[in-house]
Amino acid sequence: MNNGIVNPRRQPNVDTPTASSAEIERLFIVLSEIDRLSRASENEVIESGILHGTPQRFIACELRVELQKEVDRLLTEQILLEERDGASATSSPTGKRIANSEDLCSTAHNEQRGTSYSVLSKRREQLFQELRRLGKLDVATVQSSVARSAARIGGDCIFDKQDLMKEMADEMTNIDSKLKLCTIDKELQWCYASTEASPSIRSVHGYATSTKSAKEAIIVLERERDKHIARIAALETIDGILEWMLEGWWFGERDTKRDSRHLEGGDTAAFDRRGSVMDRATDVQRAVIAPASATYRREDICKVETNIKYGLFCMTFMYFRALHQLKKDKSSWNGDLASLRDNGPVSEERQQMVHEQANAEIRRNKIKYAMERALIGEKRKEHRLEQERLDAIKTRHWENRRATERQRLAMTVQRIYRGHLGRKATRLRSTEVKSAEATLKIRNECAVDISRVWRGYCSRKDAKYLRDELAKFMFAIRLEEAEDEEEEYLSSVRRKRSYNWRRKS
């Protein structure tokens, strides 16, 4: 780590034109506003003055969408400007020589990084496929050789399903951190070798982010790289400590295979390895099949619990059946049927029982009357509580409705104001467009007039040339016709003379 010190030979060209500082500051402000909105709920009303320059109230989800559109627009402008700057920078021979030298210097490291990246990617894909396979299984214990602990022990091992899935998920998280570290390292090398004034970095947030300078990008990437290196180193250190403790020396179970201190005279051995090889093999076998034994024990406990529940159900059923049978035979046990059948004298005990039954009936009637009165009072109380609850609901509903109306009115005012700003901008734009159209129309009319005059001049010139040529052609034809007529006349005169001469002779 160089603590932000940039190699002078790799410093970006400060003379290269970049985006204006106002746009870059605008981009950082919008990104900070998006980060603030990420902590708000979707329908929460947020007050912000970033979008239109004046404090207004927006719904969080709608404001986030508009701010993301603004970020896309600013990033597009910076990318177009960087492409133009990059084309002008790479066209020079000096820039080409620097780029070639930087590529040659980073070839070896890139090859090593590509190899580790491919190995980690293959391992992650293997873990992902194993997790998918485990997710489809409906068992408590599984046999697998993909986990890191299974590879350390050797062969196929039996694991508890949930423990194995957690171990593989943790390993995938560690691999993702290492893959991201490779991506950050690659982008850091690119920033060192880049000649751009404000390079864009992607590995930190997962999307392209512009920076003010190459030095700032290098500082951000190095801080992110150090963070991942510290996390990975801490995990590896903790794993090493746990492995060292698992060796048994710390817990006093067996001797360690690693280097340890020698015992002093007064110390005693932590563990005396006695017993035969078969006993130690039995211990190892027990440790291997421990998850399966735990599963069988859980199944036995579940069976015992089911049997106990069934026994309690049977006892409860027998109790209620006996109670029902007792109520059924009560009338026959108290002697009512015998008195009705014999019509004999009523005993004193029987009279006392009849008197008790009458008193019980009176008590039941009184209790029924008291319960009816109490039921009326309870109904009145319930009606009063229900009325209070309805009043509270109406009050809360009215308050919510008033808050909703206020929010709606605020949004309406904001919409009207935004519409006013939009119409104002539209009018200005319309005026500019109409002015441009009028200028273009005048230019087109001038061009048409000039072209018409020029075509007329050229046409008259061509017509004069054609008239001259036609006059010459007609004059030549007339000469030929005159010569032909003269020749014909002379020939006719000679024939006539010869004819007259023959006639005279």
Q: What is the pLDDT of residues 374-391, one digit of tens each?
A: 899 899 999 999 999 999
Phi/psi for 58 (5° steps) reads: -135, 160
- Residue predicted with more confidence, 307 or 349: 307
Domain boundaries, given as residue ranges, for the chain: 289-328
Q: What is the pLDDT of residue 107?
A: 42
- Please indicate, yes or no, whether the overall pTM of this predicted structure exceeds 0.85: no
Q: Determine the distance from the C-alpha atom of residue 191 to the mean position of all C-alpha atoms in its chain, rounded to a whole number.
A: 26
Please tell me the distance from the alpha carbon of residue 54 to that of residue 191, in angstroms, as a whole number.
37
Q: What is the pLDDT of residue 104?
A: 37
Q: Which residues contact 1 (CB under 8 A, 6 or more apart)?
A: 222, 226
Q: Is 47 a residue whose pLDDT tops 90?
A: no
Please tell me the distance from the alpha carbon of residue 279 to that of residue 287, in angstroms, as a whole number.
13
User: Which residue(s) pair with 143 in the sheet?
Assistant: 158
Q: Is 3 a residue whose pLDDT tops 50?
A: no
Mean pLDDT (the chain) is: 76
Q: What is the pLDDT of residues 242-283, one digit of tens each?
A: 777 665 554 444 454 555 544 444 444 444 444 455 555 565
Task: Tell me the two tokens of residue 398.
Answer: 């009215």
Q: Is 112 a residue whose pLDDT tops 60?
A: no
> Can you tell me the mean pLDDT for 39-47?
75
Q: What is the pLDDT of residue 95?
A: 46
Q: Is 177 a residue whose pLDDT tops 50?
A: yes
Q: What is the pLDDT of residue 263?
A: 45
Q: pLDDT confidence of 456, banded at 50, 70, 90?
A: very high
User: Which residue(s) pair with 209 in the sheet?
Assistant: 201
Cβ atoms 201, 184 nearer than 8 A: no
Nearest to 87 by CA among 7, 39, 16: 16
> Can you tell me the mean pLDDT for 421-434?
93
- Residue predicted with more confidence, 496 or 406: 406
Please tell me the distance from the alpha carbon of residue 213 to that of residue 454, in angstroms, as a whole number.
58
17-21, 177-181, 359-363, 439-443: segment of lowest average pLDDT: 17-21
Q: Determine the distance from the C-alpha atom of residue 247 to the mean position of all C-alpha atoms in its chain, rounded to a whole number.
A: 43
